[in-house]
Structures are given as structure tokens and as C-alpha cells.
């Protein structure tokens, strides 16, 4: 989609949840390259303001930065509702991943995963889609994961929340289409972000993509289909896990890949 058309359909502002670094920042850059102004939501104020300043200087756009805990939806709702800008694109990239055995995961960690990964994207989508419906245009991108294609031992809660977002996006893709709103789930694999580089001491896993590549491919797919799996290796992996292997075999395979997580 050409820049002018993209801006007309999804502008004038894009709200990027988790937009201060990593994939979220890559989405912010991708939207900015298409001429959209930005609203960045993230928890760490200093990093958020630094990202906002970089985007303003590089792309000559307006950037509103909001330091907010995405686990606190009521605060997010109050802050976003008070904005005096028109948001035509939502990209929900924020996530919390409790890693380890379920029996060793605290209630607080599980509640946080449910709040950040399920409650806030669900209700923020509800909040922002209301104006999009009135305007008869808009776009919504919800981040899922290859981990959400089947159960993931040591990632059980996180995988379940990512499955939720994929199914939500697919349902809304059909529901909101008559209103001129495009909805897309991005089912990503491993992504080269600062956090990934820090966590992975060895070379990246097969199919690992750069964050900018994932963001670009995702925004290019918006309006074309309900789900994108960026990267040929990841597409093949998801096909094998969901179409070739039995459910039992897919979970066993995931278990071998997550065995070392703690």
C-alpha cells in the first residue's frame, strides 16, 4: 500500500503499545515511515522519552509519549481517552512472559500475564475500535506467537495468552471488515531484539528475524488477510506444528525446545 493511501486509511495517529524498544519501536518506525504520527505507550519513562525524541527528529512527526503500566487498564483507558488526537491504527506489542514450571509460577506473575497480554489488548481494542467504526476506517494489529499454536511447557500461561490474541484477531477480522477496519494477528517466531540478544548467548535460532523486518512485513499484510507468520522458516514450522503433527507430537516437540528455560 502506498504511503499516502496508508496514511489516509490508518492515520493520522498510530498507537503503539510497548513502543519504546525492540519490536514495538520497529513498529513505531514503520508507521512513521508511512507518514503517521505516533502515540507511544510503555512503562519505562526514560526509555520511552528517548525513543519519542529519536522518532520526532528522524521522521519530523508528532509523537505523544505516555508512561503507563499496561497491566493497569483503567489508568491506560483514562489516559488514552483523554488524548486529543485521532487514532486510526493500534499495534499491541506489549507482553509479559512468565517462564518456568506452572507449579513454580506465582499468582502475581499469572495475573500480570493475564492483564498485560489479554485484558488490556482486549479492552483497548474495544475502546479504540469504537471511534474507528464511526470513522469507517482503521487498523488493528495484535501480536501473537508461534508459541500460541499449541501448548508450550514452561511457557504454558504465555502460550495461552498468545493463542487468545490470534483467535481474537481472526474473529474481529471478519466482524469489523464491514466497518472498513482491518484486523491482523502477527504470529511471530524468534525476533532479534535487545532482550533476545541478551537472553540468547549462542547464535540465533533458525528462522529468527530482525525486528524491523517483522514490523515491515506485518504492516504490508494489514488489510490482506487475518494472520501473518513472518518468515519462510516460521511458516513451515507453524504448518508442521498445526497441520502435520498430532497435537500430542506438537506439544512434545515444544517441550524439547523449552526444556532449558528457567
Task: State the 10-residue block means of pLDDT for the chain, 262 residues long.
Answer: 90 96 97 98 95 97 97 97 96 95 96 98 98 98 92 93 97 98 93 55 70 96 96 89 90 83 72
Q: Residue 8 CA to chain centroid, in angstroms? A: 22
Q: Is the peptide bond before 12 cis (omega within 30 degrees of 0)?
A: yes
Residue 90: strand pairing partners: 15, 140
Phi first, then psi: what are they for 90, rounded to 5°? -115, 125
C-alpha cell at 234: 516460521
At residue 196, the pLDDT reads 45
**pTM, to two decimals:** 0.92
At residue 198, the pLDDT reads 46
Distance in Å from the first CA to the final CA of the chain: 42
- Do residues 258 and 152 make contact, with C-beta atoms less than 8 angstroms apart? yes
At residue 262, the pLDDT reads 66
At residue 3, the pLDDT reads 83
- Do residues 7 and 35 make contact, with C-beta atoms less than 8 angstroms apart? yes
**Half-sphere exposure (Cβ direction) of 26: Cα atoms closer than 13 Å:** 19
Rounded to a whole number, what is the largest CA-CA distance in the chain?
Answer: 51
**Half-sphere exposure (Cβ direction) of 140: Cα atoms closer than 13 Å:** 33
Phi first, then psi: what are they for 133, rounded to 5°? -65, -40
Amino acid at each position: 500500500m502506498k504511503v499516502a493511501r496508508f496514511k489516509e486509511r490508518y492515520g493520522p495517529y498510530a498507537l503503539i503499545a510497548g513502543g519504546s524498544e525492540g519490536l514495538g519501536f520497529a513498529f513505531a518506525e514503520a508507521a512513521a515511515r508511512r507518514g503517521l504520527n505516533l502515540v507511544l505507550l510503555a512503562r519505562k519513562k526514560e526509555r520511552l522519552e528517548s525513543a519519542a525524541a529519536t522518532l520526532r527528529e528522524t521522521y519530523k512527526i508528532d509523537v505523544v509519549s505516555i508512561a503507563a503500566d499496561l497491566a493497569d487498564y483503567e489508568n491506560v483507558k483514562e489516559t488514552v481517552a483523554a488524548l486529543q488526537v485521532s487514532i486510526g491504527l493500534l499495534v499491541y506489542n506489549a507482553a509479559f512472559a512468565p517462564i518456568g514450571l506452572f507449579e513454580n509460577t506465582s499468582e502475581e506473575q499469572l495475573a500480570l500475564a493475564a492483564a498485560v497480554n489479554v485484558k488490556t489488548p482486549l479492552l483497548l481494542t474495544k475502546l479504540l475500535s469504537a471511534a474507528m467504526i464511526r470513522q469507517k476506517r482503521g487498523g488493528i494489529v495484535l501480536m501473537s506467537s508461534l508459541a500460541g499454536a499449541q501448548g508450550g511447557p514452561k511457557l504454558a500461561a504465555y502460550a495461552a495468552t498468545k493463542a487468545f490474541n490470534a483467535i481474537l484477531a481472526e474473529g474481529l477480522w471478519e466482524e469489523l471488515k464491514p466497518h472498513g477496519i482491518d484486523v491482523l494477528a502477527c504470529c511471530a517466531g524468534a525476533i532479534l531484539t535487545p532482550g533476545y540478544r541478551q537472553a540468547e548467548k549462542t547464535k540465533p535460532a533458525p528462522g529468527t528475524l530482525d525486528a524491523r523486518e517483522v514490523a515491515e512485513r506485518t504492516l504490508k499484510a494489514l488489510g490482506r488477510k487475518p494472520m501473518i507468520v513472518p518468515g519462510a522458516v516460521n511458516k513451515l514450522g507453524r504448518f508442521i506444528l498445526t497441520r502435520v503433527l498430532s497435537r500430542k507430537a506438537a506439544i512434545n516437540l515444544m517441550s524439547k525446545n523449552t526444556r532449558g528455560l528457567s
